[in-house]
């Protein structure tokens, strides 16, 4: 038995243990060594010889090479974690220990960031930046330097080149699609979105005032959708987590695809929680309707942009006036929700630009991208904490490109009230069944489009602005 075959049989167990460890780390409830222990247990995945063999697997279109190529991408990703696991734990610790002074009380970096997002406070902002400069950024710079060294060891120039290779697209091309979107939306941003922003943050109060956004309503919306779309939901659970130390406000934990998917969310009122829950339900519907007969790598390892596109589809019901009307919401929500989408797209553009430049230069400097995107001079958003070691902004941005194409096609085929039609549900379900087998460019081709591009996104903007 070749080593690759042997490792493949252990992969499901490994992936599930890693997912569980990450779940615990996100919620701030994991032990310090949780993630590290799993990586150590499977250390035989990461020996030099094997990784060098994996590296030489090249991309071919037939199913078995595709499968090996996905295992290659997944394991090389984990190999980076294996070699940086001490840093990952140290960085998490720097984020969750109570060290930042907020009006005499010590809080963690994560809590401080959240507090500042809800209502910005100059003094707290100064404390955050002092801590970032002194402790967090130096450690994070060391971490990214190691990622670079590992990339060179693999035979690439930098981390971005590795990502391009593993993901089969060029991040630079993705950025230029969005450079155009940025210019295209500049005046809308200045005239419509900027008044909702302060210190680079989008203030959701004006949306919250438009209606009651409750958990009960969200769950009933999703039940309505499930009923009309006839998607399989057995195995989807929602876990309410209110830890102040978790990274995001919500996330999805696919323990088994399909069959066991946990959606983690805050149990709060408000538009943001509702939007997050719509988003996570989108992941849940996708993962839980993946064809069980697919080989394991096609169910879990591939282009996350595809998963993000389905979440975005669900989320964008909030700027679909027909949906809002049908569910008894104030239709003014549509425009406000879309403004927020434009804000997020621009912010992710800045994040990606910043990240790419940082990976290429390893120098932490204000490059002005956040200022360009959000038209805000205050640089409080710019810090290494906003980066991640997976360049997730790239798959989020690709997800929005694919979503715009998907939505355009669904509306053309089934009309704006597609969410009421079982045929639309079946069409989308068919796309769910492929899991991760195709990347976002290939799904775009399945939809009858060229490779991913910004055409449909621009069109969506024209419809909503």
Please state, as a whole number, how many other Cβ atoms lie within 10 Å of the Cβ of residue 191. Answer: 10
Q: Does 250 bind Zn ion (CB under 5 A)?
A: no
Q: Please state at what angle helix 333-361 crosses helix 392-414, rounded to 10 degrees.
A: 150
Give the E-state strand segments of 241-349 in sequence order. Answer: 250-256, 260-265
CA distance 447 to 425: 15
Report which residue's Cβ sits closest to Zn ion: 311
Is residue 460 within the footprint of Zn ion (CB under 5 A)? no
Nearer of residues 51 and 306 to Zn ion, judged by Cβ: 306
- Please state the closest distance from residue 318 (CB atom) to Zn ion, in A: 15
Interface with Zn ion (CB under 5 A), residue from 311, 354, 380, 439:
311
Nearer to Zn ion, 279 or 359 (CB): 279
Distance CA 76, CA 52 (A): 10
Smaller CB separation from Zn ion, 151 or 311? 311
| 124 versus 397: smaller Cβ distance to Zn ion | 397
440, 377, 363: which is closest to 177 by C-alpha? Answer: 440
Q: How many residues bind Zn ion (CB under 5 A)?
A: 1
26 or 189: whose CB is closer to Zn ion? 26
Residue 272 as a binder of Zn ion (CB under 5 A): the answer is: no
Q: Which is nearer to Zn ion, 107 or 309 (CB)?
A: 309
Identify which range of 10-18, 38-46, 220-228, 308-316 contacts Zn ion by CB under 5 A: 308-316
The answer to whether residues 46 and 79 touch, using CB atoms and an 8 Å cutoff, is yes
Dihedrals φ, ψ of 305, to 5°? -60, -35
d(CA 209, CA 196): 13
Judged by CB under 5 A, the stretch of 42-50, 304-312, 406-414, 442-450 that binds Zn ion is: 304-312
249 sits near Zn ion (criterion: CB under 5 A): no
The verdict on 316 binding Zn ion (CB under 5 A) reads no
What residues does 262 pair with on adjacent strands? 237, 253
Taking the complex as a whole, the smallest distance from the CB of residue 344 to Zn ion amounts, in Å, to 12
Q: How many CB atoms lie within 10 A of CB 38?
A: 23
DSSP string, 207-230: HHTTS---HHHHHHHHHHHHHHHT
Shortest distance (Å) from residue 311 CB to Zn ion: 5
Q: Which residue, 189 or 287, is less far from Zn ion as judged by CB? A: 287
Task: Establish if 113 lies at the interface with Zn ion (CB under 5 A).
Answer: no
Are 282 and 315 contacting, i.e. CB atoms less than 8 angstroms apart? yes
The tally of CA atoms less than 13 A away on the side-chain side of residue 419 is: 22
- Minimum CB distance to Zn ion smaller for 116 or for 254: 254
| Cβ at position 412, least distance to Zn ion in Å | 25
C-alpha closest to that of 397 among 229, 170, 58, 132:
170
Please report where in the chains the tokens 């941005």 appear, as a residue: 397
Least CB distance to Zn ion at residue 308 (A):
5
Site for Zn ion, residues 384 to 423, rule: CB under 5 A: none
CB of 387 to Zn ion, least distance (A): 18
Q: Is 108 in the site for Zn ion (CB under 5 A)?
A: no
Distances (CA, A) of 341 to 71, 105, 162, 315, 348: 33, 35, 29, 10, 11
| Of 311 and 316, CB closest to Zn ion | 311
Under the binding rule (CB under 5 A), the answer on residue 247 touching Zn ion is no
Q: Does 116 interact with Zn ion (rule: CB under 5 A)?
A: no
Interacting residues with Zn ion (CB under 5 A)? 311
């Amino acid at each position: 038995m070749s080593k690759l075959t042997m490792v493949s049989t252990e992969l499901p167990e490994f992936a599930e243990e890693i997912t569980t460890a990450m779940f615990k780390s996100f919620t701030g409830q994991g032990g310090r060594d949780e993630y590290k222990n799993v990586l150590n247990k499977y250390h035989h995945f990461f020996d030099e010889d094997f990784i060098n063999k994996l590296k030489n697997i090249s991309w071919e279109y037939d199913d078995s090479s595709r499968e090996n190529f996905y295992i290659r991408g997944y394991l090389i990703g984990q190999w980076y974690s294996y070699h940086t696991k001490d840093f990952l734990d140290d960085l998490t610790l720097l984020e969750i220990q109570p060290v930042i002074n907020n009006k005499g009380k010590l809080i963690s970096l994560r809590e401080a960031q959240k507090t500042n997002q809800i209502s910005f406070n100059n003094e707290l902002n100064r404390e955050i930046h002092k801590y970032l400069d002194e402790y967090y950024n130096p450690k994070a710079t060391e971490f990214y330097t190691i990622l670079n060294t590992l990339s060179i060891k693999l035979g690439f120039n930098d981390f971005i080149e590795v990502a391009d290779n593993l993901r089969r697209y060029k991040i630079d091309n993705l950025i230029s699609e969005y450079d155009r979107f940025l210019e295209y939306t500049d005046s809308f941003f200045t005239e419509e979105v900027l008044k909702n922003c302060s210190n680079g943050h989008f203030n959701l109060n004006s949306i919250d005032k438009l209606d009651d956004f409750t958990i009960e309503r969200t769950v009933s919306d999703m039940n309505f959708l499930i009923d009309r779309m006839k998607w399989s939901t057995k195995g989807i659970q929602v876990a309410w987590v209110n830890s102040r130390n978790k990274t995001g406000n919500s996330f999805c934990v696919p323990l088994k695809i399909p069959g066991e998917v946990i959606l983690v969310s805050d149990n709060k009122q408000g538009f943001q929680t509702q939007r997050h829950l719509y988003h996570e339900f989108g992941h849940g519907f996708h993962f839980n309707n993946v064809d069980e007969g697919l080989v394991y790598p096609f169910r879990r390892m591939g282009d996350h942009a595809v998963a993000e596109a389905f979440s975005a589809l669900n989320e964008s019901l909030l700027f679909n006036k027909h949906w809002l009307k049908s569910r008894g919401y104030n239709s003014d929500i549509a425009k406000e929700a879309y403004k927020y989408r434009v804000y997020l797209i621009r912010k992710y553009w800045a994040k990606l630009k910043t990240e790419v430049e940082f990976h290429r230069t390893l120098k932490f400097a204000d490059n002005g991208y956040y200022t360009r995107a959000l038209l805000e001079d205050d640089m409080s958003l710019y810090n290494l904490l906003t980066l991640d070691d997976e360049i997730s902004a790239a798959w989020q941005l690709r997800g929005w490109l694919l979503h715009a194409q998907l939505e355009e096609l669904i509306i053309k085929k089934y009309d704006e009230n597609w969410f009421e039609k079982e045929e639309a549900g079946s069409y989308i379900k068919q796309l769910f069944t492929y899991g991760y087998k195709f990347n976002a460019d290939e799904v775009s081709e399945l939809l009858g489009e060229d490779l991913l591009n910004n055409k449909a996104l621009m069109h969506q903007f024209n419809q909503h602005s």
